[in-house]
Amino acid sequence: MNDETPRLKIAFIGLGAMGLPMAGHLIGAGREVAGFDLSDEARRRFSEAGGISCADIAAAVWNADVIIAMLPNGKIVREALLGGENWRSLKQGALVIDMSSSAPGDTRRLSEQLRSKGIRLVDAPVSGGTRRAVSGTLSIMVGGEATDVDEAEPLLRMLGANIFRTGAVGSGHAMKAINNYVSGAGVVATIEGVLLGKEFGLEPTVVVDILNASSGKSNTSEIKMKQFILSETFNSGFALGLMAKDIGIANGLASELGLNFENLVHTAGVWERAAKDLGGGVDHTEIVKYLDGHRQGGAE
């Protein structure tokens, strides 16, 4: 596989804040990459980076050995691959790597539909945000048949520093949702802790320093509170709406499995309401504005 990888034709669908630098790493490694995005500007920047910019999805995926999707959700991935006549451009035996954040059930159904057409799929969602997409140090969670994951891994190692094999198709997307639930719950808990301390009269930066030296330390306290929240820069590179979507996926997965986790239900609700209140396009660290605005009188 390694000897053949440079000659693979790769299609990359979704050239946004994450997808463009990821595709750039493949181009930088000498791979031939055809790409598509709805944005003219994204396609222009992709072309300037050395990619083959295509006017539509069908042209991008035509005769591709590997198709990488980095799109907002699984329904959009399915439409991109199977909508209209796009599926006719898919090469028999091609490998689809869905790096989007999708619902695990949707991923399994898409895998079955693609398999019936002779196309293989692995799900490989990422964690790390735009900064780690740019640096090529993403964490990637990969679900799929072992031989398919073996085939995908050399390309994934160009994009990420940590590659985790999670099991069957759909398990990568399940793990991504679980990770973002835990992360999102930590964001809410840390912000509320800082707001509670501030209300009592504690200096917010002192609260953060003590958390980071104590058992309350978290990803949020270490790399988000001072850097993006207390500084009010709100530019961590991950949208509030995407966090709400991922936690909603985790909550939906729990429901499908007949599980009732009260904190998961509550956390999903908080992020959903914050996205409606602030707009899904703002940075997820701006949830502090929602939490601060709803802290009086037990408004939740």
Catalytic residues: 176
Measure the CA–CA gap between 275 and 277, rounded to whole angstroms.
5
User: What's the first-to-final CA gap in the chain, in angstroms?
Assistant: 54
DSSP 86-132: GGGGSPTT-EEEE-S---HHHHHHHHHHHHTTT-EEEE--EESHHHH
**71 phi-psi bin (left φ>0, alpha ψ -120 to 50, beta other):** beta
Among residues 31, 11, 29, the alpha carbon closest in space to that of 19 is found at 11
Among residues 68, 288, 73, the alpha carbon closest in space to that of 177 is found at 73
Q: Calculate the alpha carbon distances from 134 to 19, 122, 139, 203, 254 in Å.
A: 9, 23, 13, 34, 33
Angle formed at CA 62 by CA 95 and CA 103, multiple of 5 degrees: 45
Three-state SS at 220: helix
Measure the CA–CA gap between 65 and 258, rounded to whole angstroms.
39
What 8-state DSSP symbol labels residue 16? Answer: S
